[in-house]
Amino acid sequence: MTLMIERLSLHADGVAHGPEGTVHVAMALPGEEVTGVIENGRIAAPKIVTPSADRVSAPCPHYRACGGCVMQHASEPFTARWKAEVVRNALASRNIEAPEISVSTSPLHSRRRATLAGRRTKKGTLVGFHARASDTLVEVPGCLILRPELMAAIPILHEATTIGASRKGEVAFSVTLSQGGIDLAAIGGKDSDPAQFEALADLARQYDVARLTWNDEVVAARHPATQRFGVAQVAPPPGAFLQATEHGEAALVGFVREALVGASKVADLFAGCGTFSLPLAEQADVHAVENASAMIEALDQGWRQAKGLHRVTSEVRDLFRRPLLSDEIDRYDGVVIDPPRAGAEAQVEQICASRVKRVVHVSCNPVTFARETAALTAAGFTLEKTLVVDQFRFSAHVEVAAYFSR
C-alpha cells in the first residue's frame, strides 16, 4: 500500500493515514508517497515513491544510523518554515493568531555544547551519539553540528572511558567549549578511587582540559571555564545550562534587549547563570531569580567582576513552588521568563495578575508556550513579535522568543 504523507509530527516524523489509523513514517516529508512495513503504527525504513521538492540528500554519512539528527533530508527553507509553522499551529490551537514569525538558524559546526556517551567494548571504547530509539552507540567522525574544538576533544572521551567506565555501564559526557578550553563533566562512571582520580587528572594535564568533573567531583580545574554574557565573564558550574550556540544566544539576547529598551527595572525569572540578566544590566537594573544556588553564585560573581553594569540583585527561589507574586512583580517595568519545557503556569498567572506592561517569554516548548500565551492575552497582553531560533540544526527542537505588551 502506498501512503501519502500529510504533515509532520512534533518529532518530525511524517504522518499518514493508514488502513488501521495514523501511521508515523521516519524521514518523510509532507506530500510524499511512501511504502514500507508498518510495525506498531510506524514505518521505520520507508521507500520514498514520490519525493517532495523539499527533499535533499543528507549531507552527513552517519545520518541514517545516528540519532543526533532527524531532519537532514529536508531543505533548509523547508525546515525554517516548518519550525515557524509549529509555533503558529500551537498558538492557533488556543485561538491565537501569531504575528509574522522570524526565524534565525545557527550555522553548521556551531554547537558549543553536547552530550555524548562512552562505553567500553571488547576491542576498546565507543564514543558517540545514540542511534534512533536505541541504546546502540554511533561514532560520528566529521559531525556537521559540533564545533571543531568539540570534535577534537573526542580522543579525550575515549581515554576517559577507558579509565573510568564500568564493564557494562555507560558514561554521559557533557562537553562544553568555554573561553578557557574544554569543560568536561562526566556522569555514570565508576566512583573515583585514588588511582582513577590521578589517571583522570593526568588526562586533563595531557590535553590541557580547562575543567574535568567526574560524578560531580572536580578532578582538575586548570583554567577558568568561563562564558561571556555581555561584558561579564561567568564561570558556570559543571554541566550547567548554556544556550547551544553563540549564534543562538546572540539572537535571543538581542531580541530580549530590544524588547526591553527603556525599561529601568527588569525581573529575569529562571535566570540561570545570567544569559539575559547580565547583558540587560548594561541598560537596566536587574533582579535575577533562579532555583540553583550554584548558578546564582556564578551570576553574582560575574556581575561583581564586570565594569559599567547597572545594579544586579539575585535570589535563589523555586519559581514552581513559590512564584514571584504579583505585588513583587509590580516593582518592575519589564519581565523576562525563560522556563524549562514544562513551562511556568503558576508564575505566568502571577505576571497576569500584576501591573507589569512588558514581558518577554523565551520557551523551548511551543505547546507550553501557547498555553502561557493564552493566559497572557486573556489578561490584556498583546503578542507583538515572535522569533524562532533554530540552534539545534537538523533536530525537531523548536525554540521561540516572544514579546508581549499591554
Mean pLDDT, range 314-342, rounded to an integer? 97
Q: Which residues pair with 227 in a beta bridge?
A: 234
Q: What is the pLDDT of residue 74?
A: 98
Instruction: List the beta strands (DSSP E) in 195-297.
Output: 211-214, 217-221, 227-229, 232-234, 265-269, 285-290
Contact 12, 70 (CB under 8 A): yes
Q: Is the dihedral of CA 120, 121, 123, 126 positive or negative?
A: negative
Percentages (nearest 5) of helix, strand, coil residues in the chain: 25, 30, 45
Task: DSSP letter for 54, please.
Answer: T
Burial class (CB in 10 A: 0-12, 13-18, 19+), 53: exposed
Residues 6+ apart with CB under 8 A from 225: 176, 178, 179, 180, 181, 183, 210, 211, 235, 236, 238
pLDDT tens sequence across 295-311: 999 999 999 999 999 99
Q: How far apart are CA 128 and CA 138, in angstroms?
A: 5
DSSP reduced 3-state for 63: coil
Q: How many CB atoms lie within 10 A of CB 226?
A: 18
Q: How far apart are CA 261 and CA 280, in angstroms?
A: 9
Q: Which long-range contacts (CB under 8 A, 24 or more apart) does 70-79 make?
A: 70/11, 70/12, 70/27, 70/132, 70/394, 70/395, 70/396, 71/12, 71/394, 71/395, 71/396, 72/394, 73/27, 73/29, 74/29, 76/105, 78/29, 78/52, 78/54, 79/105, 79/390, 79/394
pLDDT tens sequence across 55-91: 999 999 999 899 899 999 999 999 999 999 999 999 9
Q: How far apart are CA 254 and CA 302, in angstroms?
A: 20
Q: How many CB atoms lie within 10 A of CB 104?
A: 19
Mean pLDDT, range 212-236, rounded to an integer? 97
Closest CA to 8 of 109, 82, 61, 93: 82
DSSP reduced 3-state for 171: strand
Q: What is the pLDDT of residue 192?
A: 84
Rg, the chain, Cα only = 23
pLDDT tens sequence across 111-153: 999 999 999 999 899 999 999 878 899 999 999 999 999 999 9
> Residue 20: pLDDT above 90?
no
pLDDT tens sequence across 346-393: 999 999 999 999 999 999 999 999 999 999 999 999 999 999 999 999
Concatenating the DSSP letter of every residue in 342-367 gives: T--HHHHHHHHHS---EEEEEES-HH
User: Residues 203, 206, 212, 215: what is their CA dihedral angle, to the nearest 10 degrees?
Assistant: 0
Cell output for 326:
504579583
Residue type, 379: A
Residue type, 306: A
Rounded to the nearest integer, the mean pLDDT of the chain is 96
Residue type, 44: A
- Would you name the residues annotated as active-site residues? 364
Helix axes 154-164, 194-207, angle to 10 degrees: 170
> Residue 104: pLDDT above 90?
yes
